Amino acid sequence: WQTLSDRINHVTPSATLAVDAKAKAMKASGLDVIGFGAGEPNFPTPDYVVDAAAAACRDPKNYKYTPTPGLPELREAIAAKTLRDSGYEVAPEQVVVTNGGKQAVYSTFQVLLNDGDEVIIPTPYWTSYPEAVKLAGGVPVTVFAGADRGFEPDLEALEAARTERTKAIIVNSPNNPTGAVWSPETVRSIAKWAIEHHIWIISDEIYEHLNYDDAKTTYIGAAVPECRDQLIVLNGVAKTYAMPGWRVGWLIAPRPVAKAAAKLQGHMTSNVANVSQRAAIAAVSGTLDVVHMMREGFDARRKAIVAALNAIDGVNCPTPTGAFYAFADVSALLNRPLGPNGTVSSSSSELAAALLDEAHVAAVPGEAFGAPGYLRFSYALADDQLAEGMRRFQKWASR
Ligand code: PLP
């Protein structure tokens, strides 16, 4: 539509939210849809967090705006949590509380990029990164690493993509959509390369506590302390504490960057909802017991879904060791008749649409993550739903 800005016309809508919205609309119309689309933990927010929020609702001091970068107590709690979990010190002034990790991503690029600046995005990538880069006038540069490398970036390929305009690189481990946890060697080598070439590192650590088997999150700022002057860490409560709807995230950056992000926020959203920030204080300053409990639940589902996917002829799913996503190669299901109607899909996008329409199973096509030929299944859903969804996929794909 001509009236709209080029800026917004160049943005692709969020495919993950679109799949989720379609699945939810089908459900609302009475259809029994199994949703592997959204990255939403199916656990409730812990009671002690909800209690803190309920108490905050009754205290009139929380009816006011908060300081733009967040409540001082929350910024302090986030700094303390960073020392506890990541193993290094940050000052509360380096923390800016944002409306979800998503706003932290958006703000980071708004304050870092000039028109034409390039951001290297290891691919498969989380669907919002390239769009946030484009919205800031930047140019996303994708560098693909496939299942053959465990979806771990290859330093030589990153170097080949580097130009004079390279301003930043994204690190996202544990990773959405692949579930890969990058090795300490990979993380360290990216940090050293970024230092050598004066490239900002944007480390999205939102799945930090969701590791399985022997995998462990390598915190880039702890592994290579010298990179901290050019490091921006993104995080939030959505995944760790089952709080996606509360919309609390944050960024941790060198002071001038944090100040700039707060300045931007001052004109955009003023601050995150006061009550949500009070809830987040309870979450981040509490123990990690609830996370460990959820992780055990996810781990059992991870094993179940990987086994079920690999049992389907034409599906190949490496075992992920982080987050709550299984990223399955479905290219062998393309260009052949599937389902009761013999539907032929020529892309993973068409396959996802057919699977949803015909088998009522929602998964996100790899196109949304720069990886055609794959489907992403979030396994943050109930065990019986997972089993039923896999049964339907298997039945549909075997006809
Ligand atoms: N980063 C990654 C890699 C994600 O997967 C998500 C959510 O799906 C986010 C950031 C943002 O989460 P939120 O805005 O809900 O805090």
Q: How high is the mean pLDDT of the chain?
A: 95
Coil, helix or strand at residue 302: helix
Which H or E run contains 394?
helix 383-398
Residue 399 pLDDT more than 70?
A: no
pLDDT in the model for residue 398? 87
pLDDT in the model for residue 38? 81
pLDDT in the model for residue 6? 87
Q: What is the CATH number of the domain that holds 109?
A: 3.40.640.10
Same domain, 164 and 294: no
Same domain, 271 and 312: no
Domain with 196 in it? 64-287
Same domain, 115 and 233: yes
Residue 322 is given by DSSP the state B
Residue 144 pLDDT more than 70?
A: yes
CB 142 within 8 A of CB 113: no
pTM of the predicted model as reported, rounded to 2 decimal places: 0.95
> Can you tell me the distance from the alpha carbon of 67 to that of 271, in angstroms, rounded to the nearest whole number?
7
Q: Could you tell me the pLDDT band of residue 9, with boundaries at 50, 70 and 90?
A: confident
Show the beta-strand stretches assigned E in 38-116. Answer: 95-98
Alpha carbon 25 to chain centroid, angstroms: 23
Same domain, 204 and 338: no
How many other C-beta atoms lie within 10 A of the C-beta of residue 257? Answer: 21
Coil, helix or strand at residue 232: strand
Same domain, 215 and 103: yes
CB 325 within 8 A of CB 177: yes
376 lines ligand 1 (CB under 6 A): no
Domain assignment of residue 57, yes or no: no
> Can you tell me the distance from the alpha carbon of 329 to that of 314, in angstroms, rounded to the nearest whole number?
8
pLDDT 10s digits, 33-45: 999 988 888 889 9
Q: How do strand 343-344 and strand 361-362 relate by DSSP bridges?
A: unpaired
Provide the greatest CA pair distance for the chain: 62
Residue after which a domain boundary falls, among 233, 262, 287: 287
pLDDT in the model for residue 268? 95
User: At residue 173, what are phi and psi to the nearest 5 degrees?
Assistant: -145, 125
Same domain, 264 and 302: no
Q: Could you tell me the pLDDT band of residue 204, with boundaries at 50, 70 and 90?
A: very high
Which H or E run contains 78?
helix 72-86
Same domain, 305 and 187: no
Ligand 1 centre to CA of 229 (Å) is 24
Residue owning the nearest CA to atom 10 of ligand 1: 101
Domain assignment of residue 135, yes or no: yes
Domain count for the chain, please give it: 2
126 lines ligand 1 (CB under 6 A): yes
Same domain, 30 and 166: no
Residue after which a domain boundary falls, among 250, 271, 287: 287
pLDDT in the model for residue 18? 75
Domain assignment of residue 336, yes or no: yes
Ligand 1 centre to CA of 42 (Å) is 15
99 lines ligand 1 (CB under 6 A): no
Domain assignment of residue 53, yes or no: no
Q: Could you tell me the pLDDT band of residue 1, with boundaries at 50, 70 and 90?
A: low
Domain assignment of residue 54, yes or no: no
Q: Could you tell me the pLDDT band of residue 310, with boundaries at 50, 70 and 90?
A: very high
My answer on whether omega of the bond before 69 falls inside 30° of 0, hence cis, is no
Q: Which two tokens stand for residue 117?
A: 């600046």
The residue type found at 253 is: A
Same domain, 147 and 279: yes
Percentage of residues in the chain having pLDDT higher than 90: 90
Q: What is the CATH number of the domain that holds 39?
A: 3.90.1150.10
Show the beta-strand stretches assigned E in 46-130. Answer: 95-98, 118-123
81 lines ligand 1 (CB under 6 A): no
Q: Which two tokens stand for residue 95?
A: 């923390």
Of the candidate ranges 68-77, 167-176, 285-294, 325-334, the one whose mean pLDDT is the lowest: 285-294
Same domain, 176 and 32: no
Ligand 1: which atom is nearest the Cα of residue 102? Answer: 14
CB 161 within 8 A of CB 194: no
Cα separations (Å) of 203 from 33, 103, 130, 140, 217?
A: 34, 14, 15, 16, 12
How many other C-beta atoms lie within 10 A of the C-beta of residue 392? Answer: 17
User: Which of 97, 102, 171 to mutate for ligand 1's pocket (most ligand atoms within 8 Å of CB)?
Assistant: 102
Same domain, 115 and 161: yes
What average pLDDT does this structure show over 147-173? 96
Ligand 1 centre to CA of 206 (Å) is 7
Domain assignment of residue 58, yes or no: no
Q: What sign has the CA pseudo-torsion 354, 355, 360, 365?
A: negative
Domain assignment of residue 184, yes or no: yes
204 lines ligand 1 (CB under 6 A): yes
Alpha carbon 168 to chain centroid, angstroms: 18
Residue after which a domain boundary falls, among 287, 310, 331: 287
Same domain, 191 and 328: no
What is the predicted ipTM? 0.98
pLDDT 10s digits, 235-288: 999 999 999 999 999 999 999 999 999 999 999 999 999 999 999 999 999 999
Q: Which residue has the tokens 């970036």?
A: 153
238 lines ligand 1 (CB under 6 A): yes
Domain assignment of residue 88, yes or no: yes
Those residues whose C-beta lies under 8 Å from the C-beta of residue 379, and which sit 6 or more positions away, are 36, 298, 301, 302, 304, 305, 324, 325, 326, 386
